[in-house]
Every structure is written in structure tokens, then in C-alpha cells.
Amino acid sequence: MSNHMPVNRALFDDVMVPNYAPSAVIPVRGQGSRVWDQQDREYIDFAGGIAVNCLGHCHPALVGALTEQANKIWHLSNVMTNEPALRLAKKLTDNTFADKVYFANSGAESNEAALKLARRWALDNYGAEKSQIIAFKQGFHGRTFFTVTVGGQAAYSDGFGPKPGDIVHAEYNNLDSVKALISDKTCAVVMEPLQGEGGIVTPTDEFAKGVRELCNEHNALLVFDEVQTGVGRLGELYAYMDLGVTPDILTTAKALGGGFPIGAMITTTDIAKHLKIGTHGSTYGGNPLACAVAEAAFDTVNTPEVLNGVKAKAQVYVDGLNAINEKYHVFSEIRGKGLLIGAVLNENYQGKAKDFLNAAMEEGVMTLVAGANIVRFAPSLVIPNEDIIEGLARFEKAVAKLAK
């Protein structure tokens, strides 16, 4: 079978498990924040592969790192180590609260490692009674059975038989709901420092600090899922840095590889020691190709120019979306932080977020949704301002059609 066989959307239905319903558009190449489909039609990318392509498409630093490493060594397994993995781990520990790193291939796997570590830490230090995990309603932590059960959306975890036990859910931004659940039997509280899938919900400072204090009081670990918020997305290298709260364990993926699959769990030496030899592992975790690309992405993002640029570009989005809304009155609020922005549909457009996404696609701009009522934007952190302005002009055309 040659790679010149005809590929179209119908082939998806023929050969793929039907758990996705992809667009009819098949992108074939990208440059910066622009993407072209099979018909050579151009789109502006405000979706970023769901907050993954933090440097857009085909960024020279990433292409260079991948090409250079591809000509050296691809895979070793963790029976040995490799230079890119150790360099990347050193950069992660030098630039965060953490001392130790575990590499995985995805956000879900990073969270799986964090949850297993929290349980093992509690077992070793306090005994089998201390196993409760508190997470949050509308939270999202991945699709493995453990992470999807910790995620606070039953629709994703129901229907697969008995779930992993001793997992409860509090209400995000409601400290009293955490107080009502937490006890000395709690081993960890798992939270996103901004809820992504759950609706682009920013925590109050009081809530974030209050959760940290409750964890301290009950000897529970605070686990921050920064799979979506990490690596510059909110205008800091990691979101915890702007909250004045330091977690015990943090997970990172999505933007970490700028589009190449990689994830990491980072923590302190004292906690890390409980994942001793043989307790956890991954065939591909710490893969040299992934780590080489991630190191280039990390170095590029972790600069004042890019991180401050995120804040400036966020303002261009917010101002532009507010201007559109003044004309068409479709949103009740624009919320989020940095370049993770949610335009919340008002009462006249409930349940129609997907209609806005589809209409935007027809106008040549790629967006996302967060639930049925929020249009989500997670573009490249280095998207040129002219692409933001042009993309919002296209988005406005879509809004105008739907607002008629």
C-alpha cells in the first residue's frame, strides 16, 4: 500500500473505531498559526490542537531538534537512560518547585503516575486507611480508568463496570465543600489551577490557598493537574506560580512537547522516593525524540518575551471578542486567563457552542468548545497579532451568520 492512496473523511468511518466524529476538513500542512487542508484552503488556528501546539506549526526550533535527534538515537527503553531526557528533567527541576521528574507520553499517564504515587506515599507513611482522593466536579484528568474516575464528569466514566474506589468530588471554588469531605483519611486533593474542559473556570486566590491549607492540616498531598495550563499557557511557566500556592506533585503534558507526545510528573525528593525501583514504569516514557523536542519547546517558551507576550496577546483576544459581542450580543462573559479563553454563550444561544465552532470553520478559523455553551480559544503562544486580528474578523463573520 503506497502513501499515495486516496484519503478522505469517508475512510475514517471505514477504518476507525467510532469514538470520534472529526470534521470533514483534513489538514495536511501548517506554518505558524496557519493551516492548509487537502484542497489547499487556508485556516487560522485558534485551537492549537487543544492547547498543544504552543509554538504553532513547524516551528524551526522544534523541527531542528526533532531532525537532529532523529539522526542520533530514537528509542532505548528505561533499562538505560538518555541525554535529552536528563537535560529536560534538569530544566524542569531548575525552573519549578520540584526536585524529581517521571516521564510519560500523555497527560493521562502523567496523572496516573501522580495518583499512584500519592496512594503509595500515603500507604508507606500512614497505612492503608489513608487512601481517599478528593477531586472536583467538572474536572478533567484524562481517559484511563483511574484518571477518568478522578475526573468529575460521570458521563466519561460511567458504563465501564466497577470504578476505582475511594474517590470523591467537591465543588470547584467552594472551600466549604472541600472542608466537608477532607479528613485524615484523605491522601490527596487533585485539582486544575484553572478548569479547562469544565468551562474555563479560574480559581479564586482564597480557594487555592484554602485548599493548600486544608491539605497541610490533614497531611494530604496537593496535586496540580497542569496538563492544559502548563508551559506558558496562562502567562507563567506554570499556573501555580501566579496563584501563590505550591503543589506537592504537578503534572504537565500537552504543550510540553509543542505537539510531540510527552508528559511528565514532577515532585519533591521526599515524595518521589516512594516510587522505588519496580513500582511504576513506561516503555516510551522519556523517549529521546520526545525529550529533545520538549527541551526545545521549553527553552523557547520559558523566556520573558514569550510569557509576557501571552498576556499582551490575551488582551488583544479579550478586546476583540468584547467588540464582537457589543455588535451581536451572543456572549454572557469572556473568561479565562492568558491564552486559554472561554466565550460563554448567553441564554439565547444555550447548547450551541458546536454551531459556532462549525460556522467558524466555514469562515476559515479553527476554534474549540468547552462543553455545550462555551467557545474555547487555545492558540499558539507566539501567534502573530495580525493572525489574531484576521482570525477574529473571520470569527465575527461566523457570529454574524448565527446571530441573524
Cα–Cα distance between 395 and 360 in angstroms, integer? Answer: 5
Report the candidate in 395, 383, 386, 390 with the shortest Cα–Cα distance to residue 338: 383
9-58+304-403, what's its fold? Aspartate Aminotransferase, domain 1 (3.90.1150)
pLDDT of residue 218: 98
Catalytic option among 140, 224, 260, 356: 140
Which positions make up the binding site for pyridoxal 5'-phosphate?
107-108, 140, 225-228, 283
**Which DSSP helix (H) or strand (E) runs through 149?**
helix 145-150
Question: In which band, very low, low, confident or very high, does the pLDDT at 254 lie, cut at 50, 70 and 90?
Answer: very high
Whether residue 208 is predicted with pLDDT greater than 60 in this model: the reply is yes
Kindly tell me if the per-residue pLDDT of 1 is higher than 60.
no
- The pLDDT tens digits for 3-52 are 778 899 999 999 999 999 999 999 999 999 999 999 999 999 999 999 99
pLDDT recorded at residue 321: 98
Letter string b/e over residues 211-234, b meaning 16 or more CB atoms within 10 A of that residue's CB: bbebbeebebbbbbbbbbbbbbbb
Q: Is 136 a catalytic residue?
A: no
For the chain, residues classed under CATH 3.40.640.10 are: 73-301
Mean pLDDT throughout 212-221?
98
**Distance from C-alpha of 98 to C-alpha of 82, rounded to nearest angstrom:** 20
**Does pTM surpass 0.85?**
yes
207 is annotated as an active-site residue: no
For residue 331, indicate whether it is catalytic.
no
Q: What are 219-239's pLDDT values in tens digits?
A: 999 999 999 999 999 999 999
Is the CA virtual torsion 193, 315, 343, 143 positive or negative? negative
Candidates 46, 103, 207, 225; catalytic one = 225
344: enclosing H helix or E strand: strand 340-345
Distance between CA atoms of 82 and 292, rounded to whole angstroms? 10
Q: Which part of the chain has CATH 3.90.1150.10?
A: 9-58+304-403
In the prediction, which pLDDT does 4 show? 78
pLDDT classification of 2: cutoffs 50, 70, 90: low
**For the domain 73-301, what is the CATH code?**
3.40.640.10
pLDDT digits (tens, 9 = 90+) for 45-71: 999 999 999 999 999 999 999 999 999
Q: How far from the centroid of its chain's Cα atoms is residue 383's Cα?
A: 18
Q: Give me the catalytic one of 130, 254, 313, 337.
A: 254
Amino acid at 154: A
Backbone torsions φ then ψ of 223, nearest 5 degrees: -105, 120
pLDDT exceeds cutoff 90 at 74: yes
pLDDT above 90 (res 241): yes
